[in-house]
Amino acid sequence: MLRNALGKTCRFLGYTVQYGCIAHCAFEYLGGIVVCSGPSMEPTIQNSDVVFSENLSRHFCCIRKGDIVIVKSPNDPKSNICKRVIGLEGDKVCTSNPSDFLKSHSYVPKGHVWLEGDNLRNSTDSRCYGPVPYGLIRGRICLKIWPLNDFGFLRASPNSHRFLDD
């Protein structure tokens, strides 16, 4: 009787560890579902929208300008942020706010990306904390899941004029 109970417990623990490892690998390397909060990506992503984030792009260095990414916050490593990639390493980016009369520019250093929210007037992004290390990228958002009436691939940036091609 004790042997039978011990055997069932060990099998249960074995399955738990196996499925736990599979789930970890799936969420770490394949992707997952993310609930976005805050106004910084409006109108593309609204507060409480649910999106799918795939993680393979960051492992294969396939992040491009215009992609929306989930990133560990440079200000608070316990939280993630959702921003659009405006510049990759070596790109010239506009570092000033849209309301500034004189525009300033800078180059994105090696191993970094420049991130901005689509809602430029209400976004804390690279204009505040500078270029973000590529290693902080957690995944690339590719699909909006909720609300259902907005289901599908994400639209282009309303600020595409800020992408400089030099």
Residues with a known catalytic role: 40, 83
By the 8 A CB rule, do 30 and 56 touch? yes
Rounded CA-CA distance 51/154 in Å is 9
Q: Residue 130: helix, strand or coil by DSSP?
A: coil
Name the percent of the chain in helix, strand, coil, to the closest 5: 30, 30, 40
By the 8 A CB rule, do 126 and 149 touch? no
Cis peptide before 98 (omega within 30 of 0): no
Structure token digits, residue 96 = 């000033």
Rounded CA-CA distance 137/131 in Å is 12
What contacts 26, CB < 8 A, 6 or more positions away? 32
